[in-house]
Amino acid sequence: MDSTTKPPLFQDTTPDALHVRARIEAFNADYANAIDSDRLEEWPRFFTEDGVYRVITRENRERGLPLSLIYATGRGMLSDRITALRTANIFEPHVYCHQISATKLIGRDGNGWRAESNFAVFRTLISGPMIVFVCGRYVDRLVEGDGHLLLAERNCVLDSRQVDTLLVIPV
């Protein structure tokens, strides 16, 4: 898991840092757009080849418990999630609407950056009901890919321990 050192109170606002932050915000918009538009097959490509994805509750994380709801290491496991969703798993069809905000550039981390962003995801079932499905924070490590950023690690930390019904579309 990522470093738990305290983030700086104020983030770097030099033009270079703001530029990085803007790129991360653009990245998150692309990420949300792909998922919310049901282009889920593209989702693994937001990660590095061995990128790590976790959906973990805040409770587990703060208690130092390693368990995630979803834990994938590498694009293979990420794409398996999508293949299973398309071909095997049964659920009422639904869509997400991601709201991602308050992106904070924590700092450099080796060859990449650490950043955190808040998210809220509305879930709309095909039968109509709409709820705030999850909200929480992306705790990310991003690296330079081929002309754009990629996730070396994304931890989706859910504020609530409760998942309504099931979790199949990635957060």
- Rule CB under 8 A: which residues touch other proteins? 55-57, 59-60, 63, 65-77, 79-80, 83-84, 87-92, 161-168
Rg (CA), the chain: 16
> Is the sign of the CA dihedral 5, 3, 159, 11 positive or negative?
positive
Instruction: Single out the residue of 131, 132, 138, 133 nearest to residue 28, CA to CA.
Output: 138
Q: Which of 149/151 has CB closer to other proteins? A: 151
Minimum CB separation of residue 155 from other proteins in Å reads 13
Minimum CB separation of residue 166 from other proteins in Å reads 4
Could you tell me if 86 and 170 are in contact, meaning their C-beta atoms sit under 8 angstroms apart? no
Minimum CB separation of residue 101 from other proteins in Å reads 24
Minimum CB separation of residue 67 from other proteins in Å reads 2
What the block records as the tokens of 128 is: 């109509």
Q: Which of 128/147 has CB closer to other proteins? A: 128
Q: Which of 30/59 has CB closer to other proteins? A: 59
What the block records as the tokens of 111 is: 């060859």
